[in-house]
A and B are shown apart, each in its own frame.
Chain A
Amino acid sequence: MHAFFTVNTVTELICLLISVICLYKDKNVYWRSFMLYLLMVCIVEMVGISLRLEHKPNYALYTWFLVIECTMISCFFYHLYRKYHHKPGQLYSWLGLFILVFLLELFTNHFSNFASKTAAFMSVVFVIASLYYYVLILKDEHFRKLETYPPFWIVNGVLFFYFGSTACNVFFDYLLQEKAHSLSLSTRYVTFNILNVLLYSCWSYAFICRYRQRN
């Protein structure tokens, strides 16, 4: 049983709990959808662990979850950009491009591996999206107290996670090689533990700020 409670899963569960407490009565659908997304993250993580324990491959699960991850984060970025008069066409174009790259990679590797190139591509786009959001904030004449501004902390978490995971994504194929398997596994594992803690800490803080500002 304790195999299910790793640093990753505990962090995700805590974040899910905070999101439910803080966003349950939130009127904004984009913010409320974080609860559903985090629930799905926790379920995928648990199923992934149980598949691993049964010595079955779990890459397919994580590969298909990329679509949900990309949709959720892209929609939230769209929600943030909407204030600056961005059109929904940009969101649909990006999601279309993502699906194209995703399917192309799946067909290329014959559905036999994790879509790491799509994940790397998605990471780069999210890093650019985060940086663009910072530019919009800096250009905005309206002043915001960023210490407690929830969207800013969501974007901070996204930037930390996707920028930090770039190296792991780029060298993903190598890190899977058997030669360096044990060492690489620990490197990847520790890296993603740190990134997950950073991501979900930032998000939890954003949810708390959102809750406090709503009340």
Chain B
Amino acid sequence: MLVLRFYMQISSKELILLIAIITFIFLIAPLFLIIYIFLYNKKKAKHLEEKEVLKKTFELELLKSQVEVQEHILQTIAGDLHDNIGQLLSLTSMTLSSIKADHLREEKINTAAELTHRAIKELRQLSKKMNGQELIKKSLGHAIAYELDWLKKGLAYEIQFTDNTTHSISAHADKELIMFRLFQEILSNILKHAQATRIKITIDQTKDYLSLFVQDNGKGFILADKLEAGDGLGLGNLQKRTSMMDGNFTINSTPGKGTDIQVSIPYQ
């Protein structure tokens, strides 16, 4: 009834015009709604991007703290080994050398003194190896060479090390230390899993980058399979630490032929 009365009050021409206007408004409204959804979606994208950046920054900060704490602990243990146990062993060595005994006992005491002397030497080397900051003081190349000397002593590996670095930048000592720890982890992986006989290590320095290249002739693996099986051999950790320094981490492995790993970090 209301509609009929409404019809009667206005002419048909006016009503049709009204319908046309209503339809036009009904078309404009969804248009604005869609524009609003687009804008909101863009805002959402920006928000998600920011959230992702924050998450990444937080993860990197966490990793940085972990590395710092780890370094600190290693340094403390290295210090304790050197200062306490080292001192005790030195005292033992001195005590042994001061004992005056008969011919039969002297031989045994000399053997004990020699063993103690070797233990002191080993302990010093271990302590030095653990104290990365101390080791890296000279240069990254020197630290790697020291690590390889340690390796050459015990195991039968054909090791080739090339140091193409020209100079150390003291401001980047932390980066060098992390690079050195990465090298230690890569080397440890090779010793544990690769069954290699030959290891080739190269460090290069360009104007902007410091690169470490490690190649072995071990059994190799299929990277995708390892990652899928969650058995990443600490590759994820290596990758994370590299990205912490805004660097690039690449790995190529062929089953039966070996593995190449390259780590490059900005260094200018």
A residues neighboring B (CB under 8 Å): 131, 134, 137-138, 143-144, 146-147, 156, 159-160, 163-168, 171, 174-175, 177, 179-180, 183-184, 187, 191, 194-195, 198
Q: Which residues of B contact A171 (CB under 8 A)?
A: 15, 19
A183 to B20, CA, bound (A): 12
A164 engages B26 (CB within 8 Å): yes
A166 to B23, CA, bound (A): 7
A143-B44, A175-B16, A180-B13 given. 6 additional CB < 8 A pairs? A137-B41, A159-B33, A160-B30, A167-B19, A180-B12, A187-B20
A109 to B31, CA, bound (A): 36
6 nearest CB pairs, A to B: A180-B12, A167-B22, A167-B23, A164-B27, A159-B30, A187-B16
Chain B count of residues within 8 A CB distance of the other chain: 23
B29 engages A184 (CB within 8 Å): no
Nearest-neighbour CB distance to chain B for A183, whole angstroms, equals 6
Nearest-neighbour CB distance to chain A for B41, whole angstroms, equals 5
Q: Which residues of A contact B31 (CB under 8 A)?
A: 160
User: In the complex, what residue of chain A is closest to B49 when comparing beta carbons?
Assistant: A143
User: In the complex, what residue of chain B is closest to A152 when comparing beta carbons?
Assistant: B37
Q: Of the candidates B19, B33, B34, B45, which one forms a contact with A143 in the assembled complex, judged by CB atoms under 8 Å apart?
A: B45
Nearest-neighbour CB distance to chain A for B31, whole angstroms, equals 8
User: In the complex, what residue of chain A is closest to B25 when comparing beta carbons?
Assistant: A167
A163 to B40, CA, bound (A): 22
Nearest-neighbour CB distance to chain B for A155, whole angstroms, equals 9
Q: Which residues of B contact A164 (CB under 8 A)?
A: 23, 26-27, 30
Q: Mark B42-73, 1 if CB is under 8 A from A, else 0.
A: 00110010000000000000000000000000
Q: Which residues of A contact B27 (CB under 8 A)?
A: 160, 163-164, 194-195, 198
B19 engages A183 (CB within 8 Å): no
B23 engages A174 (CB within 8 Å): no
